[in-house]
Structure 1
Amino acid sequence: MKNERLIRIGTAEGTLCGSLDKDVFVFKGIPYAAPPTGPRRWQPPKAVVPWRGERDATRWGAASWQNRQYCVAVGGGDPGAFSEDCLYLNLWTPDTEPASAMPVMVWIHGGGFTIGAAGLAPYVGRPLASRGVVVVTLNYRLGHLGFFAHPALDKEYAAGEVVNNFALLDQIAALQWIQRNIAAFGGNPNNVTIFGESSGARSVLSLFSSPLAAKLFHKGIAQSPYALPDIPREKALENGVRLARHFNLENATSEQLRALPADAFWPLENSLANGPVAIAGDRVLPVPMLKVFTSAGQHKLPLMIGSNSDEASVLSYFGVDPAAIIRQLRDTQRLGLRMKMIRMLYDGLYDDEKLGKQVARDMTFTAMGYIAALSQYRNGIPVWRYYFDYVSENSRVIYPDGTWHGNEIPYTFNTLDELDEQMGARPFTASDREFAEKVSGYWLNFARHASIFSNRLEGEIDWPAWQPASDLTMRFGETGPTLKLEKNFMRRRMQLFRLLMKSMVKLRS
């Protein structure tokens, strides 16, 4: 079969014609739901109308409307074509008729819920798929098209059935497509791992928290999820009314809102946005994600979670001023904090900007992993916690403070070769590639083997599931391409920030 350049697979919706990329079959631009356009804007995704004949699956589907320049600069590359018709997924499989069904890894891209696309170079699924898994990446609605609330739209729902998190429902629809169809591509519908970075990681945790996602996946990996609070539905409704007024729509009807051009929303100022978080209080996310995890109410499934050493590289995009964090700590006595305590936790660092970056990093990112780990332990479900601190050999001079937000992705996907052109005069080295093989190996072993009964992941160093008593965190790359199990990693900081995180980390108003 692999002597042919094209391959045809029958799905519940119709036949797809994919192609061969080296030793892996790839299918691009597969519709997993009907176009959310016209009267379907701000509606739950609807079923695809089945097609006759063959559908070409050799080109990427369109991404949701967004800021192209912003995505090129910080989102992983050029997202390609834009359209409100954006509910497409891509799939890589090494074998459509394997001896036994393969694990499935479903990637949810990041970008603050405002930028990104499933077909970006860091997310190419061929390297992982070539090692015996099926990889799926998906587009979903972004920005106001993905998260929106307005009184006029509320009227379309029965009491308790309101939907505001359309992007999360898109992700759920993609998981439903996988349950219907993945066996035809050699995948195991009973071993599905969802994984994502940044807002993609927030999506993973939100799906862990959503009653509508139950039984659609079996484990999750959250790379650099941030601990900012979800938007309360009441606030989102106020934002929706202000947005309508911006377009001179006082007492707007749903018809008027849906008549607005699809490309009218992404250029709006941040003050009119809901922020890089979901909306809490609708049918998709009835309870805020953080509250679900702090009360151990999430789906009881295995989780891997972690963050990077220089997450502060992205804090400005979240409206977090590192120096202001320190000023607030210094000036606010009601929190019972003393700067002496903070300086002790951070080895006597006195520069407000540098200290603020580390404090904000740990409160916004590192603490989220600790909170989730404690919650998993309370449920008796395994969790693996990591800290990524590797910078490619030729780039260390431009990343003096460690791994930037998102820079771990090509190591977890093992896609360094896909990024050679982007790296320019700072190409990846053989040592970088060897390290990517090791890192991605843990991700693959999690997808293959992790279950509610697991207590370790195999690798160059066997990685025990996290427990409070041993408190072991896998550190990727502290001194070059090394692996190290760190005991009591940032323990005192995490204990403090777990209590103070909600008070100190705020969204831009």
Structure 2
Amino acid sequence: MKKLFLSTITIFILIACSSAPTKKDEIKTVKVNAAIGEIEGLIEEDVYLFKGIPFAQPPVGELRWKAPRKLAPVSETIKAFSHKSKCTQPKENEFILDRGVTEGGEDCLYLNIFVPKGNVDISKNNYPIMFWIHGGSNIWGTGNSYDFSKLAESQKVVVITINYRLGPMGWFSSSHLRNTSEGDDRSSNFGHLDIIAALEWVQENGNSFGGDPTNVTIFGESAGGHNVLVLLATKKARGLFHKAISQSGYVSSFSEQFASEESELSSAKVFQDDIRFLTEDQQIADYLRDMPIKEVFQRYKQADESHLYSISPISIRDDIVIPKEGIYKALEDVDPSVVVVAGTNKDELNLWYLRSKYFYQTALNLGRNLKRSEENLKSWIKYRSNIWRFTGAEEPLRRMSKSNQNLYSFRFDWDEEASTILGDYPLFLGAAHGLEIPFISGDYSLVPAYARPLVFPNESKEGREYLSNLMMQYWANIAKYGDPNTFVQDHRWNKFRIQNQNYLRLDSPEYIQMVNDPVDADEMLKTLESDSTLELKERCLIGWIAEMNFVEEMRGDPPFDFCSEYTSIDLLKLRRLTEGRD
């Protein structure tokens, strides 16, 4: 979920977005002439940096819940000196996302560009373009939070980060809107369409920033990794990128009927009191588009609070962006020329478990005392992370292998945190969700200064920097050459094959190696059923989560006979508790 993630109680704190320079600051600027018009950016120490460039018309008023509209060229110079608004999203309230309190705004379709210093005339460069898609469950986050200066400068690539519509503004399925719309406006996947619009902008304007539009690599983490997989699956993005890297992504999608009518957070249920006396489709569409954004989110907050564990219907099989047959099936026909990387982290769920009262007694902000046995926690981490690996890397790659042989897989295993009186952080944090991002960006300030000695202790510096440099080279090699091994002296990264489903373990230097240990869904459930390190109720919950995640629409039942003694309410309460939602 991103920049080490917006939330978790101690270590994962939102980074303050960069602000515009004050009048007292002396700034040096650089200008480019792009198809959209003249754009002026900042000359930083290592890169040229352009912040807050619009890539589509603001999706406000009549354009709310419509496909993004192309911007006409502008006559005035665009001053790209400061980040623009993040897209409307729930505000973090004491480390819990509050759907009823919003931050950001609807006018948010902006991107940022990091350009390595080369020719004085930037447009004469011809660097590969790496296009970053941020995470955050497609509900929160912003491209403004990431500093890719080191990746851009050290590897000589242009890096672009974007904002895209989120939550109910980015994914909204309503028959009333469809009945009053045409073309792409009938889609339910406005966030995905925003990303595609940004890629189209790159095709038209990327060369003005010294980038090569014929060599674009999309990469993203968590929901950003999921969006990478969606872009691979949709024909609407064909030709807009040439390589793809999914970090801790996942596959899930929902039918239009579920998203419109059946889900606890469907448009019909969320707004049923608002539209009960309206009869015409156009009336209802106009009413919803006129509703103040805070009221929209308040409705979702009320609906969410009336259920134990509601799921936002994001990524909808509208047959415009996502085919009716779903993402998995569409991945079987992926463009065979695209080089694809997909991987996960060894301890994904630790990001959530760290804030859980089920596992920890917490006396200090950074202190952790384990309430349950170490073996119990390790089992939770192992099973939930393997479930994530199945849906985020191995099954998508198996599907893609039917048409594409340019596939690679990784698992990020680095867990060299400090173990002190504050807690056993190699166990408690380990290779958690999002921890690979500083290694790829080279930006360790993603972790706040007070926690850095715990997460990145001095003893780990040599091995950590080796791994970071190696990962940046691998990622850039994919972008430059389509082969991660180019000019890499050690640690060859072999391709993923259906006959040899291996992955590269990314860890401290002595542990980096190819591993062939794919997740077998049936075998995992068989082992889980009799795992004595877990209580029966725990096995039922983990098995239920597995059954829901092993299929695309996240529906299923607990798989074991003894689960009949637990109601879905019992299991959902346990899930909330273990994931730190209570």
Q: Distance in 2 between matches of 1:91 and 1:486?
A: 34
Tell whether the 8 Å contact from 2:230 to 2:327 is kept in structure 1 after alignment: yes
Tell whether the 8 Å contact from 1:302 to 1:382 is kept in structure 2 after alignment: yes
1:46-96 Cα shifts (integer Å, max 9, x gaps): 1124322211101001111112326x9499xxxx96110000000011135
Letter of the 1:292 partner, please give it.
A
Tell whether the 8 Å contact from 2:130 to 2:217 is kept in structure 1 after alignment: yes
Q: 1:436 to 1:182 in 2, by over 3 A?
A: same
Q: Confirm whether residue 308 of structure 1 aligns to residue 345 of structure 2.
A: yes
Q: Confirm whether residue 5 of structure 1 aligns to residue 32 of structure 2.
A: no
Q: Confirm whether residue 64 of structure 1 aligns to residue 87 of structure 2.
A: yes
2:495 aligns with 465
Q: Distance in 1 between matches of 2:479 and 2:406?
A: 14
Q: Distance in 2 between matches of 1:152 and 1:504?
A: 24
* Secondary structure of 2:160 counterpart: strand
Unaligned runs of 5+ in 1: 323-348
Which of 516, 531, 535 aligns to 1:488? It is 516
Tell whether the 8 Å contact from 1:35 to 1:86 is kept in structure 2 after alignment: yes
Q: Distance in 2 between matches of 1:74 and 1:207?
A: 30
Provide TM-score, normalisation by structure 1.
0.82
2:444 aligns with 416
Tell whether the 8 Å contact from 1:420 to 1:427 is kept in structure 2 after alignment: no
Q: 1:316 to 1:392 in 2, by over 3 A?
A: closer
2:506 aligns with 476
Tell whether the 8 Å contact from 2:55 to 2:110 is kept in structure 1 after alignment: yes
Tell whether the 8 Å contact from 2:216 to 2:241 is kept in structure 1 after alignment: yes
CA drift of 1:433 comes to 2.8
Tell whether the 8 Å contact from 1:476 to 1:484 is kept in structure 2 after alignment: yes
Number of residue pairs aligned between Structure 1 and Structure 2? 464
Q: Distance in 2 between matches of 1:21 and 1:74?
A: 35
Q: 1:45 to 1:27 in 2, by over 3 A?
A: same
Percentage of matched positions with identical amino acids: 26
* Secondary structure of 1:362 counterpart: helix
Q: Distance in 2 between matches of 1:97 and 1:482?
A: 40
CA drift of 1:264 comes to 2.9
Tell whether the 8 Å contact from 1:21 to 1:126 is kept in structure 2 after alignment: no
Tell whether the 8 Å contact from 1:416 to 1:433 is kept in structure 2 after alignment: no
1:386 aligns with 410
Letter of the 1:106 partner, please give it.
F
Q: Distance in 2 between matches of 1:42 and 1:88?
A: 17
1:400 aligns with 427
1:336 aligns with none
1:91-132 Cα shifts (integer Å, max 9, x gaps): 011135376511000000000011101111xx2121111020
Tell whether the 8 Å contact from 1:97 to 1:185 is kept in structure 2 after alignment: yes
1:113-153 Cα shifts (integer Å, max 9, x gaps): 11101111xx2121111020000000000010000011210
1:377-430 Cα shifts (integer Å, max 9, x gaps): 221331110011113443783341521111111111111155453635536343
2:385 aligns with 361
Q: Confirm whether residue 115 of structure 1 aligns to residue 115 of structure 2.
A: no
Q: Confirm whether residue 253 of structure 1 aligns to residue 302 of structure 2.
A: no
Q: Distance in 1 between matches of 2:78 and 2:123?
A: 24
* Secondary structure of 1:90 counterpart: strand
2:189 aligns with 165
* Secondary structure of 1:359 counterpart: helix
Q: Distance in 1 between matches of 2:347 and 2:66?
A: 38
* Secondary structure of 1:28 counterpart: strand
Q: 1:199 to 1:504 in 2, by over 3 A?
A: closer
Aligned pairs for 1:66-105 (under 5 A) are: 66-69=89-92, 73=95, 82-94=104-116, 95=118, 97=122, 101-105=126-130
2:312 aligns with 275
Which of 335, 340, 344 aligns to 1:299? It is 335
Moved more, 199-208 or 422-431: 422-431
Tell whether the 8 Å contact from 1:182 to 1:189 is kept in structure 2 after alignment: yes
Provide TM-score, normalisation by structure 2.
0.72
CA drift of 1:44 comes to 0.4
Q: Confirm whether residue 18 of structure 1 aligns to residue 52 of structure 2.
A: no
1:205 aligns with 229
1:243 aligns with 270
Q: Confirm whether residue 290 of structure 1 aligns to residue 313 of structure 2.
A: no
Q: Confirm whether residue 501 of structure 1 aligns to residue 537 of structure 2.
A: no
Q: 1:448 to 1:114 in 2, by over 3 A?
A: same
Which of 435, 443, 447 aligns to 2:467? It is 435
Letter of the 1:124 partner, please give it.
D
Q: Distance in 2 between matches of 1:98 and 1:37?
A: 33
Q: 1:378 to 1:82 in 2, by over 3 A?
A: same
Tell whether the 8 Å contact from 1:231 to 1:274 is kept in structure 2 after alignment: no
Q: 1:384 to 1:196 in 2, by over 3 A?
A: same
Unaligned runs of 5+ in 2: 1-25, 360-372, 526-545, 557-571, 576-582
1:452-490 Cα shifts (integer Å, max 9, x gaps): xx595553312121123343310011xx45452233223
1:344 aligns with none
Q: 1:74 to 1:403 in 2, by over 3 A?
A: farther
Q: Confirm whether residue 448 of structure 1 aligns to residue 476 of structure 2.
A: no
Which of 194, 205, 230 aligns to 1:181? It is 205
1:224-258 Cα shifts (integer Å, max 9, x gaps): 0124x311111111111111115455546101001
CA drift of 1:305 comes to 0.6
Q: Distance in 2 between matches of 1:504 and 1:277?
A: 11
1:263 aligns with 294
Q: Distance in 1 between matches of 2:509 and 2:184?
A: 51
Tell whether the 8 Å contact from 2:215 to 2:241 is kept in structure 1 after alignment: yes
Letter of the 2:496 partner, please give it.
W
Tell whether the 8 Å contact from 1:6 to 1:20 is kept in structure 2 after alignment: yes
Q: Distance in 2 between matches of 1:398 and 1:455?
A: 31
Tell whether the 8 Å contact from 2:123 to 2:208 is kept in structure 1 after alignment: no
Q: 1:113 to 1:250 in 2, by over 3 A?
A: farther
Q: 1:160 to 1:442 in 2, by over 3 A?
A: closer
Q: Distance in 1 between matches of 2:346 and 2:273?
A: 40
1:34 aligns with 57
Q: 1:152 to 1:214 in 2, by over 3 A?
A: same
Q: 1:379 to 1:40 in 2, by over 3 A?
A: same
CA RMSD of aligned residues (A): 3.4
